[in-house]
Structure 1
């Protein structure tokens, strides 16, 4: 009898000790009153600290982050064999933090799914990470972002997170014991002295005060915190003075919380019920029953749930007591001059409005957001909006590079323009050429289009430096090199500055370039004739061209211009491996040019007109003659009758079956049927971004159907949510065109 009483007394003393410690801890928060927090009100949202939250999904950024050197650190998460007391730490889940381009990111990777309870094993159970769309052995990236807090008590500085930031168990190690009366209890230690659901001795308290605090706050920020990160109680979660419903059974929207992407990769459970869809449970700091259960807020907003303390899928919504009156925020004014001005204010302080900024050759149009009168409770940046001043000319010089231009033909020009120019236009009374950084357009009476390349140079004291700078470097001026056919006359050269382009510079301030032909003497007797062996030639198949010249000709060149403005130039000398040269002994020579003709347009055939050029003894430049020849270049052998049993032309897509719906980052299938001569296919979105596949590529299953067709099954993951149109092309010797039959529309949604 005495033994039973003593054991009961020991249990009572342990519980009493824990209760005293909890009450002592609670008293700390109450003592944090400050009279200067009057600017904040209950329900105000403020920013303080940073924590990994949103997942990085931009493919280019993910690729750059993956190329960085990483220092992986184990989370030391637990797993066991399913029995209480079996939980042990291991390194199956790791993280790595880096700073890149002024931002901080966290990488997360795991080799096993996190068990739903700390003592569970890897083989049996449900895995919330998998349900949330995450997979093993893949690196996921999350961006550190400001933590948003809701003010509960301005007097004590009590604030609580607006978002569930993480997912952690209340107690990592749980031990089970039943006494002689068959009463069972759960403990946090193997000696059965500490209740498993006592917050004061919980692993979650340690995690909040150490791991979370170290991750979320700088040393300066920590100095402003009265009480460390902790959980609020049931009493606090039903305090109407804090904005909560007094009824803990009520579905209170103020108690509802959803989780960040980072919390989801940790294993947070997401609920899809009609009430509180997308929300999750989050821990409270009150024990519920005999050591086993801990209180929590339900996804529906009720504060009456009891959860097993070792569950890993319950959210953590930290609270802190902070000196609200001492928090300072950065106010940054970015006028676009490369040196933003930074000021520091406390919440509610009046902001000194800056003078209207000025910028050479631009007009100030206002700020991207309204200039605040007082400081918000968050770091704030406002940016100046500028429009180009169209009353100034940004062209410095226009010159022709190509020598010996005696008629209207493609020639190279350089334009020295201020950096930042987005488009350049040549125009006379009849013709307009427009060049931008990606494409060239033409309107007017010319049939030839222009080709653009941009080379950037730094200009100091009006002199081009000898060293070419890298693309994207900061420079004063850029050299635009264009290829265009101009007739003689005056051209006005103007610029646009911004995208989207609003207006051109005024016509009366344009740079005037005068085009004058060179006077080059051409001796037409130097080239007697030019004749291809066949007037019809299969693409990329040898078709020799015989040219009879004077024996004084040292080199030959044949040129043509395709419909997209690009040129093909083939040059030859008597010793070229592709030339059979014969001196006829009568002052003439025969040149047999072993030539293969090709083209890049998506047509079955193309008529090409070639012009013959020469260089003779004493010539310092090429001379363009009037001698020309034409060749019809075809896709197929013109001398062979093709019969296709299945009724399809070569290099043909016969069917495309795309998904109607998909989920971001989850695999779906695109089915493409082609003729069996196709060697590659590619999938292109409406922005022109393509992915190319061969039959042996990863995520491709290519099956020969045995009837002259192939079936390509593409396992594809869409990276962006929304509705978009996609096209499919195939390749034989060139890419096919995309018609409506090769397009499909897909609606991609975010992960649940």
Structure 2
């Protein structure tokens, strides 16, 4: 792919709404976009000597500020806070404090209580609104030193509340956050964002540890601590035969995969080795496999368009059917063909399950809701009665038009080829013996048959497949906001 001139900038950001900037800069007709770089951790220390909000024994409410270790100011609001001997502050029962100016990418808060009577709740959020989904409580039975890493969500706002029957005497608090670099995103470069299971774990010792953590194996009658994939077997029936479980071990996240029947390569087929590619890929029934969550690498296809930078995964991440059924259906008074992208299962999966689980709170705000062109022209045909309405999506598959755009670097068949991750192979993607590439879906419908959608073949050319085939890969794309 063609690279553009690269200019690096680095500076600290604290008081912006979220930790991401994209700005178009013209330089000899070349566009650049500013992007968040790697995190460096800094802290805000609240002690008996630093960052007090109130300096007398009377409970007060109002606005104040905290100073970071780099002497940047963060505005805060507080309710019923007073001073005390040898403590940071005392928070009255029902009182609280919260930052009202964004703290860039908080990674943790550590609180030291002056005594066991303190009962404290901590909320966190990407915005200045809080709910019970992002909340932890430390009651009087907890240790004097307590902390939370916000479930690794890196929020921008937090709120600390005094609960129970006693005023909370707080000796000290440390808030760690990311001080971020800003650099210019370039077409032809790569960008790292999101986490997904990819590489298979082969270390026997680690496998044993993960198996122990995973506990009892699931059955069709009892999933135990596992979650069914709800995949299809025989006549497109959802069946519990394949499960997953995510386990955190020594700071790393792993996904376990276990199945008692082979996943058919079509949703209407029965389960057998001959109908599946899982065994071809080295994955067999009644065996647990573990895969490590790893950062997703995205190819930057373009930064020139007003919609925002266009990113495409550089690996095939999963194996899914385009739509579970090869039959038309009616929604309202409209006939919906199986290859209708707007109403497809894969569009729902990308923007629901995949989007929800892959990206952090911070990253979700970086992804634009994009108007997706599903016109006839986007499908690569002069006429196509199966073309659907445009959609508004966070994640999407490439169209035929996009997959032939030379400015995106697609100037030959080999430029379109992609390889699948180990995890995608366990899901049943087909990996031909002739090469190590795999097919992946495009969103564009095939024009001669309502049950077919277009795809990129292993050699980079174009083909089409029945929409209910499960052995084609998912290569997601997105635009940054």
In the TM superposition, what is the alpha-carbon distance from 1:33 to its structure 2 partner? 8.6
| Aligned: 1:75 with 2:224 | no
Equivalent residue, structure 2, for 1:512: none
- Structure 2 gap segments, 5+ residues each: 1-20, 26-31, 34-183, 216-224, 370-393
| Aligned: 1:307 with 2:465 | yes
1:198 is aligned, of 321, 340, 343, to 340
1:188/1:202 contact within 8 Å kept: no
Residues 198, 280 of structure 1: CA spacing in aligned structure 2 closer, same or farther, 3 A cutoff?
Answer: same
1:169/1:314 contact within 8 Å kept: yes
The root-mean-square deviation of aligned C-alpha atoms, in Å, is: 2.1
Task: Give TM-score scaled by structure 2 length.
Answer: 0.53
Equivalent residue, structure 1, for 2:289: 140
1:112 is aligned, of 261, 276, 279, to 261
In the TM superposition, what is the alpha-carbon distance from 1:217 to its structure 2 partner? 0.5
SS of residue paired to 1:130: coil
SS of residue paired to 2:336: coil
For residues 74 and 191 of structure 1, what CA distance do their matches in structure 2 show?
34
| Aligned: 1:286 with 2:447 | no
| Aligned: 1:58 with 2:208 | no
2:313 is aligned, of 132, 151, 161, to 161
1:240 is aligned, of 406, 415, 431, to 406
2:190/2:298 contact within 8 Å kept: yes
In the TM superposition, what is the alpha-carbon distance from 1:40 to its structure 2 partner? 2.2
Q: How does 1:571-582 map to 2 (within 5 A)?
A: none
Equivalent residue, structure 2, for 1:255: 416
In the TM superposition, what is the alpha-carbon distance from 1:173 to its structure 2 partner? 2.3
2:265/2:277 contact within 8 Å kept: yes
Task: Give TM-score scaled by structure 1 length.
Answer: 0.34
1:52/1:144 contact within 8 Å kept: yes
Residues 172, 189 of structure 1: CA spacing in aligned structure 2 closer, same or farther, 3 A cutoff?
Answer: farther
1:42/1:243 contact within 8 Å kept: no
For residues 117 and 191 of structure 1, what CA distance do their matches in structure 2 show?
29
For residues 167 and 189 of structure 1, what CA distance do their matches in structure 2 show?
27
Equivalent residue, structure 1, for 2:427: 266
Is the radius of gyration larger for structure 1 or structure 2? 1
2:322 is aligned, of 170, 178, 191, to 170
For residues 252 and 469 of structure 2, what CA distance do their matches in structure 1 show?
33
1:151/1:157 contact within 8 Å kept: yes
| Aligned: 1:317 with 2:469 | no
In the TM superposition, what is the alpha-carbon distance from 1:157 to its structure 2 partner? 1.4
Residues 219, 33 of structure 1: CA spacing in aligned structure 2 closer, same or farther, 3 A cutoff?
Answer: closer
1:230 is aligned, of 392, 396, 404, to 396
For residues 421 and 464 of structure 2, what CA distance do their matches in structure 1 show?
23
| Aligned: 1:220 with 2:362 | yes
For residues 450 and 332 of structure 2, what CA distance do their matches in structure 1 show?
14
1:174/1:188 contact within 8 Å kept: no
In the TM superposition, what is the alpha-carbon distance from 1:220 to its structure 2 partner? 1.5
Residues 33, 172 of structure 1: CA spacing in aligned structure 2 closer, same or farther, 3 A cutoff?
Answer: farther
Residues 140, 207 of structure 1: CA spacing in aligned structure 2 closer, same or farther, 3 A cutoff?
Answer: same
1:197/1:292 contact within 8 Å kept: yes
Deviations 1:379-438 (A, max 9, x none): xxxxxxxxxxxxxxxxxxxxxxxxxxxxxxxxxxxxxxxxxxxxxxxxxxxxxxxxxxxx
Residues 123, 211 of structure 1: CA spacing in aligned structure 2 closer, same or farther, 3 A cutoff?
Answer: same
SS of residue paired to 2:414: coil
Equivalent residue, structure 1, for 2:192: 47
For residues 271 and 410 of structure 2, what CA distance do their matches in structure 1 show?
39
In the TM superposition, what is the alpha-carbon distance from 1:74 to its structure 2 partner? 0.5
SS of residue paired to 1:128: coil
Equivalent residue, structure 2, for 1:358: none
Equivalent residue, structure 1, for 2:69: none
Residues 189, 134 of structure 1: CA spacing in aligned structure 2 closer, same or farther, 3 A cutoff?
Answer: farther
In the TM superposition, what is the alpha-carbon distance from 1:211 to its structure 2 partner? 1.1
Residues 64, 33 of structure 1: CA spacing in aligned structure 2 closer, same or farther, 3 A cutoff?
Answer: closer
For residues 108 and 33 of structure 1, what CA distance do their matches in structure 2 show?
38
For residues 215 and 104 of structure 1, what CA distance do their matches in structure 2 show?
13
Residues 188, 214 of structure 1: CA spacing in aligned structure 2 closer, same or farther, 3 A cutoff?
Answer: farther
- Structure 1 gap segments, 5+ residues each: 1-31, 81-85, 176-185, 324-752
In the TM superposition, what is the alpha-carbon distance from 1:191 to its structure 2 partner? 9.5
Equivalent residue, structure 2, for 1:149: 298
SS of residue paired to 1:46: strand
SS of residue paired to 1:170: coil
| Aligned: 1:207 with 2:368 | no
Deviations 1:440-494 (A, max 9, x none): xxxxxxxxxxxxxxxxxxxxxxxxxxxxxxxxxxxxxxxxxxxxxxxxxxxxxxx
| Aligned: 1:102 with 2:251 | yes
